[in-house]
Structure 1
Amino acid sequence: MACASLVQPAFAVEPFEIRDIRIEGLQRGDPGSVFGALPFRIGDTYSDEKGTAAMRALFATGLFKDVKIEQEGRTVVIVVAERTFISKLYFTGLQEFDKDAILKALKDNGIAPGLPFDDALIDRASQEIKRQYLSRSFYGVTVKTTKTPLERNQIDLTFDVSEGGIAYIEDVRVFGAQTFSEQDLLDMLDLTTSGWLTWYTRSDRYARAKLQGDMEKIRSHYLNNGFLEFDFTSQTPVGITPDKLHTEIDLQIAEGTSYIVDAVRLEGDYLGQEADFRQRVSIRPGQPYRADDVAATVREFMELYGTFGYAFARVEPRPEIDRARGLVTVVLRAEPRQRVAVRRINIAGNTLTRDEVIRRQFRQFESAWYDGRKIKLSRDRVERLGFFTDVIITTEPVADAEDKVDLLLTVVEKPTGSLMLSAGYSNAEQLTLAASVRKDNVFGTGNYLGVDFSTGKYSRSMAVSATDPYFTDDGVSRSVEVYYRTTRPVNSVGSAYQLATPGMAVRFGIPYTETDTIFVGVGAEQMRVGTASGIPNSYFLHVAEFGRNSSGFPLTLGWAREERDNPMAPTKGSYKRINLETSLAGDMRYARLNSQFQQYLPVTRKLTLGLNAEVGAGYGLQGRSYPVFKNFYGGGLGSVRGFEQSSLGNLDVTGAFNGGTRRVNLNSELYFPLPGSGNDKTLRIFAFADAGNVWAENQSMHWGDLRASTGVGLSWISPVGPLKLSYGRPVRYEATDKIQRFQFQIGTAF
């Protein structure tokens, strides 16, 4: 009998032809895993070299802690000692964490059922569980581990967790501040002592990562006010009480001197375009040194280099300090490095969406010079499709080609279809029932198809619509809609009559810049007025002129410019649109003009100011009256909050609100993040101020007629659409106005 060693065989084995291979020692493993690793088979010639190679291969599988190879005649015997494997993990004492969260954290560290076990894993697992608790300020947590051996070389592990208590922050202090008050610095921090809302925000729980972030906020504040040599001098800013239930944070700082920018000097290779680069410098001589301005200038330089094809340009800011004069010269040293072209654009992650739907959004082309501006625009255009939860573009060097790169666009798809059956209640509509089937990315083509049905107290509708965003290869879109709507004016005195509007429309969107689109369309619709019982006087006059069934063939011409960073939850940018609708054929002849302007301004890092202005006017043409059902309405969400929906304007003689032929609507909203929501912009609170009104054709417009209100509200981009709740208080109103302080609606954009 012979035994082969991994280092040196005990004695040489004469080569022989293998007649059989036998495995001994397996308890839970698959013999196939052993045979698959062996470098020989029955009928091969066995040698010491093959034996050594077999042992190396078996150890490399990680399944065995010991391997021996023995010979019995012409039979090779593989004797293995399997490693112990984890069967199950058990936990006791978990309250702060869900078991699945701890299991995931352990799995990420190589500890999970089905994986090999050794004693070193126990300490690693205990440390990982403690780390999870430390991230939530549980500094008194202890972990005890129990091993339970099982048959077939398996083991169960039980972790007994004693959580202890939360280490709340008892005090936060800043020492050494002279230029700024301690309170001003403390107001910048996310970590605080306990307060009336900290049960929700958890800002009174110490965490090392949060403290590091707060320290960087203070550092950035000083660097943005000229203090180039600012630093923290305390080595251990956190003290924990012996019971591990309270912490104190003491931040020792050294402000240094505030420096004024004396000059900005460019060094290096600026491609002969130094004047263009200087125009992008936001660092201002004579002003205090600001780190944010330096970082913004570096980004602008990198972006400009990117437009020339230099994807890996390096721009290094270097301050030259004159301490005697309190001045600093900012030197920007640039090295463009190698100019590169895009060899190939690869797309990953799109299991449903066709490649062409994504590629047609690209403004960076293959075999063209790398252009950072076009790449960013391409990413933004793909993100605006709304088909993906995440869109990332990475640049990958090409082996053996320094002048080429590949782009990899990785997307994470999200469901784009919905089937909805719902009932709801709103102040204006009372009980509403709705059903819809919608698909934004039909069969991965990027097209939209929808069928909607809704019913409420004042309006009912059924509509089928379809949109092809690339009806032509140049990006001209086509939308087709067929609809049937019935309405009943708010506050009408009777309920037996009904207004029905069947119709259809085709509209084309023609983009002529990256942000501008022209819309043209044509449609046909009919106005049907029901029985005369309870009919408002304005509709009675419409019937007298046009009859109970009147038709129109509206033509539409519009323009829109979209420059918001996010149409659903914008924080900056603007949106402008003008739309003209006119009917020159059929019974009704009219022109209807509507324009809107929105501007979003970032007031601070967390506050956003939104402004909205909307003006509309309608006129009858060719001696005919303006159709009453094309009137503008005001009041309620989307207009002047605090007033009942669509209740602004004069009453007709029958007491019905019929809107008017002209409208002015002004809105302002100041958005605040919901405490504890972090950077989530889909859920925000806001304060608002509204003003507006509508005027009939025979009324003169006066600014004194405007109604106005102020209030607060909640904005949420919910799974079923934009949701707004508001509580408004009218500040300019008449005694006859319909006041409604609390209002909510799904689908209101502003």
Structure 2
Amino acid sequence: MNLAKMLRQLMWVLVAVYAGNAVAIEPFVVKDIRVEGLQRTEAGTVFSALPVRVGDSMNEDKAAQAIKSLYATGFFKDVRLEVDQNVLVVTVQERAAIAQITFSGNKSFPSDKMKEGLKQTGLSEGLIFDRALLDKAEQEIKRQYLSQGKYAATVKTVISPLERNRVGVRFDIEEGAVSKIRSINIVGSRAFKNEVLLEQFKLTTPDWMSWWSKNDQYSKQKLTADLESLRSFYMNQGYLEFNVDSTQVSITPDKRDIYITVNITEGEKYKVTDVKLAGEMLLPEEDLRKLISVKPGELFNRQKITESSKAISDRLGNEGYAFSNVNAVPDVNKQEHTAAFTFFVDPGRRVYVRRINLTGNTRTRDEVLRREVRQFESGWYAADKIERSKQRLDRLQFFSEVNVETPAVAGTTDQVDLNISVKERSTGSVLFGAGLSSAEGVVLGVTVNQTNFLGTGNRVTAQLNTGRINTVYSLSYTDPYFTPDGISRGFDIYRRDVDTSTLNTGNYKTSSYGGGVRFGVPLNERDSITMGLAIDYTQVELNADSLGRYVDFCGGNSAAGIGSSGCDNISLPATLTLTRDTRDNILFPNKGTLQRLTGEVTVPGLDLEYYKLEYKHSWYKDISRNVTLLLNGEAGYADSYGDGPYPFFKNFYVGGVNTVRGYDTSAIGPRITETSTSGRQSSFALGGTTKLVGNVELFFPIPGVKDAKQLRMSTFVDAGTVYGQGDPVSLGELRYSAGIGVAWFSPFGPIKLVAAKALNAREDDRTQILQFQFGTQF
């Protein structure tokens, strides 16, 4: 009854408002329309809102409708209609417009970014001033400062009238100091010390890294995540009934210090007494049981329960059951503190993939993507094949993002579509400039590289690099799908000049010219064979400071004082490489292995008759989401098989940023002190025919840097050496080093910077504490 009375009163108020804005109008024919009071708004805006035109009949109903329409534009705060000798006079009073928005006192956020944020709330220069939107903007600015932990921040607005019915808006901001977490107290813990539980939290009290991580600044979202981490910690230790009872967050009156209290109930530890499988098990039960990691007699572990459910669901997904559901239901005995778990399996319907849809590949041809996809259209859904397809597309390095979705087909219960959306990245580059290496010095170069030539997936590279030691001119072309079965074919043409005068490995120069062809044959998803044959012509240039053994190789006789200016050699090296690669990413792997066995042998009957064998094994393990452990081992052996000696310029060398860091490039291994034909006495590293290298490295993100795919740090321990021809292999000859490094895949090429300490350097070893590479192309 009271509500009806209020509605009637409101109706009469509205009638009174509109009656006050329009005189009593007798019906008439509009002879003309005149608009008065406009300052900024176009007259056409008013005419378009009116329900009448010149020549139309005007009455009170149309007058009321006209007033409503003009108010609805939002441009006017007052509207009046009058009649002057059949001329309709529309008198309006415009609402003020925002001429400018300024800020004062804002140090944490730049003014242009703040203006962009206010525009999202509807407050922007040139728009109509609205007090309600201004209040909303003020609250949004306060919220942004609260997200930075500045709880004492204040925001005041000042409105300044300007000419032509405009206003200026100024936000006066006092940011105040950042509020810091002074204490986090967990009440109710009996089994673990407070320090152990706080290790599960990202939020922390101020420490030496807080200036970077900002983890001493309170955030409700961070606290919620930390409480879930605490819950997971307890439940993975057997505390099935663990509960967070309450949390209190208090702040001091000066809003500088924050105190957090978390009240918990641990409960008792529970043991698992039995594990069962139930439901519709389409696969043999013994196969599914192998996927369950939790065993009777163990303490309850929520992580193992979750992983077991996921493993069974994934296994069913590989058989086509895309919508399987596996739930672990506990049977809890609170008196004995035990729990039995039954995994209920609901496979759902078996589905197949109706269609594979590709989007986002504006430059790359569809066939380039489709040949990497292991799931077939009209084939049974296979989760492992879909995941493998995503990995293969990622490994192409053509796309910055690869997203995969499998929506159900409308109107069916046994069909899904596989939607693959990609975001293309720049695959071509023309680099002019300089690189810098601790071994090479300044490296000037031009590299034209296109890994996705004309969208075909073929790779074309032309390179010119000039350094103090190596000068390379090369042109290569690779077709990864020379045949539909995935056999690749590539061609290479090169010239390489080497000048070792600055390496302390014996003074000589070589110029090699050659070309070759290679084929790669995939054996399966992970394994491949690469075969190649090349022709190589090498000129060796010696001088008065060259070692005697180099002179002897080129036909001289150093013992008899007979020198040599050099020699020419022609060879046909054939290579065979077996590769197994399970890495999830080529540039910055997080898990998987890379194994490579390479054999090189020259065709007999020419100037050089030798063979080389090399083996590399790299194992990556993801310790956590962004922390990766690398164990790497390399071994090599080489020798001649004919009457001639093994070519010294094909020796293995160890030391430097890519092998054993902390030692000078190629400086580890046998050395010789020899007097040259000019009488100069020097100590040289000879290299060797047997190589051993080992590396242990832990990769982790740089604190505060989110993009761990492009930039990360590492700490490492290296070991390695080379042995001369005929020397026994002794582990006592290994050199060791340890240090830290930074790797960045920059737009200008990979950058590698390491600081290393040689741990057992000998007196004649050359060491380097800081080593780097910049702009090296690979």
Q: TM-score interval w.r.t. the shorter chain?
A: 0.7 to 0.9
CA contact (8 A) 2:627 2:701 kept: yes
Secondary structure of 1:639's partner?
Answer: coil
TM-superposed deviation, 1:267: 3.0
Matched, 1:699 2:724: no
Q: State the shift of 1:30 in Å.
A: 7.8
**Structure 1, residues 530-580: CA drift from partner, whole Å, max 9, x if none?**
243323333323322997221111111111111122232223221111111
The 1-side partners of 2:592 and 2:477 are apart by 29
CA distance in 2, matches of 1:720, 1:444: 22
TM-superposed deviation, 1:273: 4.3
**3-state SS of the aligned residue for 2:555?**
helix
Measure how far apart 1:57 and its partner are: 11
Indicate the residue corresponding to 2:662 in structure 1: 642
Give the equivalent residue in structure 2 for 1:669. Answer: 697
Moved more, 193-202 or 549-558: 193-202
Other structure's SS at 1:727 match: strand
Q: Report the CA distance between 1:702 and its aligned residue.
A: 2.0
Q: Tell me which residue corresponds to 1:438.
A: 449
Could you tell me which of 254, 257, 264 is aligned with 2:265? 254
Q: Which residue of 2 aligns with 1:582?
A: 601
- In the alignment, is the contact (CA less than 8 A) between 1:489 and 1:657 conserved in 2? no
Q: Distance in 2 between matches of 1:322 and 1:402?
A: 40
For 2:749 and 2:74, how far apart are their aligned partners in 1?
A: 52
User: Is the Cα contact below 8 Å between 2:274 and 2:296 reproduced in 1?
Assistant: yes
Deviates more, 1:620-629 or 1:740-749: 740-749
CA contact (8 A) 1:267 1:332 kept: yes
Q: What's the CA shift string for 1:400-448, capped at 9, x where partnerless?
A: 2333222322222222222323334433223332332222223332222
CA distance in 1, matches of 2:268, 2:75: 62
Conserved? CA contact 1:538–1:658, under 8 Å: no
Question: Secondary structure at 1:444's aligned position in 2?
Answer: coil
Cross-structure match for 2:773? 745
1:215 to 204, 213, 227: 227
Aligned equivalent of 2:406: 395
Query: Helix, strand or coil for the counterpart of 1:188?
Result: coil
| Equivalent position amino acid for 1:358 in 2 | L
From 432, 435, 438, give the equivalent of 1:421.
Answer: 432
Equivalent residue letter for 2:108: E
Given the alignment, which residue of 473, 477, 480 partners 1:462? 473
Within 5 Å, which residues of 2 pair with 1:593-672?
593-603=613-623, 607-652=627-672, 653=674, 655-672=683-700
**CA deviation after TM superposition for structure 1 residue 173, in Å:** 1.8
**Letter of the structure 2 residue corresponding to residue 454 of structure 1:** N
Match in the other structure for 2:588: 569
Distance 1:46 1:251, change over 3 A: same
Cα 1:105–1:401 shift into 2, 3 Å: farther
Offset, 1:286? 1.4
Tell whether the 8 Å contact from 1:524 to 1:553 is kept in structure 2 after alignment.
yes
More displaced 10-residue stretch of structure 1: 556-565 or 47-56: 47-56
- For 1:571 and 1:450, how far apart are their aligned partners in 2? 28
Segments of structure 2 that go 5 or more residues without pairing to the other structure are 1-17, 557-563, 677-682
Is 1:688–2:716 an aligned residue pair?
yes
1:536 to 544, 547, 563: 547
Structure 1 length normalisation: TM-score?
0.87
Residues 1:530 and 1:209: Cα distance change in structure 2 (over 3 Å): same
AA of the residue aligned to 2:631: L
Contact 2:477-2:490 at 8 Å conserved across structures: yes
CA, structure 1 residues 58+582, in 2 after alignment: closer, same or farther (shift >3 Å)? farther
Out of 272, 286, 295, which is 2:297 matched to? 286
> What amino acid sits opposite 1:218 in the alignment?
L
Query: Closer, same or farther in 2 for the Cα pair 1:62/1:421, shift >3 Å?
Result: farther
Q: Which of 306, 320, 344 does residue 355 from structure 2 map onto? A: 344
Determine whether 1:197 maps to 2:225: no
Contact 1:558 1:578 in 2 (8 A): yes
2:320 corresponds in structure 1 to 309
Mapped contact 1:316–1:333 kept (Cα < 8 A): yes
Partner of 2:369: 358
Letter in 1 for 2:764: T
Q: Distance in 2 between matches of 1:594 and 1:31?
A: 84
Structure 1 residues 302 and 749: CA distance shift in structure 2, 3 A: farther
Written as runs of structure 1 = structure 2, the 5 A alignment for 1:49-448 is: 88-113=100-125, 118-147=130-159, 156-236=168-248, 238-448=249-459
CA change 1:234–1:529 in 2 (3 A) is same
Question: Pairwise mapping of residues 447-486 of structure 1 onto structure 2 (< 5 A)?
Answer: 447-486=458-497
Q: CA deviation at 1:214?
A: 1.7
Report whether the alignment pairs 1:525 with 2:545. Answer: no
Q: 1:153 and 1:482 mapped to 2: Cα distance?
A: 75
The AA in structure 2 aligned to 1:121 is: L
Does 140-149 or 676-685 show the bigger shift? 676-685
Residue 762 of structure 2 corresponds to 734
Contact 2:504 2:685 in 1 (8 A): no
Mapped contact 1:494–1:533 kept (Cα < 8 A)? no
Is the alpha carbon distance of 1:134 and 1:701 closer, same or farther for their aligned partners in structure 2, counting shifts above 3 Å? same
Seen in structure 2, the aligned counterparts of structure 1 residues 27 and 715 have a Cα distance that, compared at 3 Å, is same
Report what 1:549 is aligned to: 568
Q: Secondary structure at the match of 1:133?
A: helix
- Partners of 1:486 and 1:273 in 2: how far apart? 63
Whether the 8 Å contact between 1:532 and 1:540 is mirrored in structure 2 is no
How far apart are residue 255 of structure 1 and its match?
0.9
- One-letter amino acid of the counterpart of residue 731, structure 2: W
Change (3 A) 1:20 1:286: farther
Name which of 737, 742, 749 aligns with 1:714.
742
SS, match of residue 616 in structure 1? strand
Residues 247 and 261 in structure 2, CA contact (< 8 A), matched pair in contact too: no
Counterparts in 2 of 1:126 and 1:330: CA distance versus 1, 3 Å: farther
2:760 corresponds to which letter in structure 1? R
Distance 1:339 1:48, change over 3 A: farther
Amino acid at match of 1:736: D
CA separation in 2, counterparts of 1:704 and 1:749? 35
Q: CA deviation at 1:584?
A: 0.6
- Contact 1:486/1:499 (CA < 8 Å) preserved in 2? yes
Q: Distance in 2 between matches of 1:606 and 1:51?
A: 69
1:83 to 1:357, Cα distance in 2 relative to 1, 3 A: farther
CA RMSD of aligned residues (A): 4.0
- CA deviation digits over 1:663-706, x for unaligned, max 9? 11111113344333467354443332222211122322222222
Q: Which amino acid aligns with 2:210?
A: T
Return the alpha-carbon distance in structure 2 between the equivalents of residues 492 and 699 of structure 1: 23
Code of the residue aligned with 1:666 in structure 2: it is G
Question: What residue identity is the alignment partner of 2:245?
Answer: T
Identity of aligned residues (%): 39
Unpaired runs of 5+ residues, structure 1, are none
Q: How many residues align?
A: 741
> How many Å separate the matches in 2 of 1:472 and 1:79?
80
Residues 1:70 and 1:262: Cα distance change in structure 2 (over 3 Å):
farther
Counterpart residue identity of residue 703, structure 1: L
How far is the alpha carbon of 1:110 from its aligned partner? Answer: 4.3
Deviation at 1:180, TM superposition (A): 1.2
What is the distance in 2 between the residues matched to 1:387 and 1:704? Answer: 46
1:510, distance to aligned residue in structure 2 (A)? 1.8
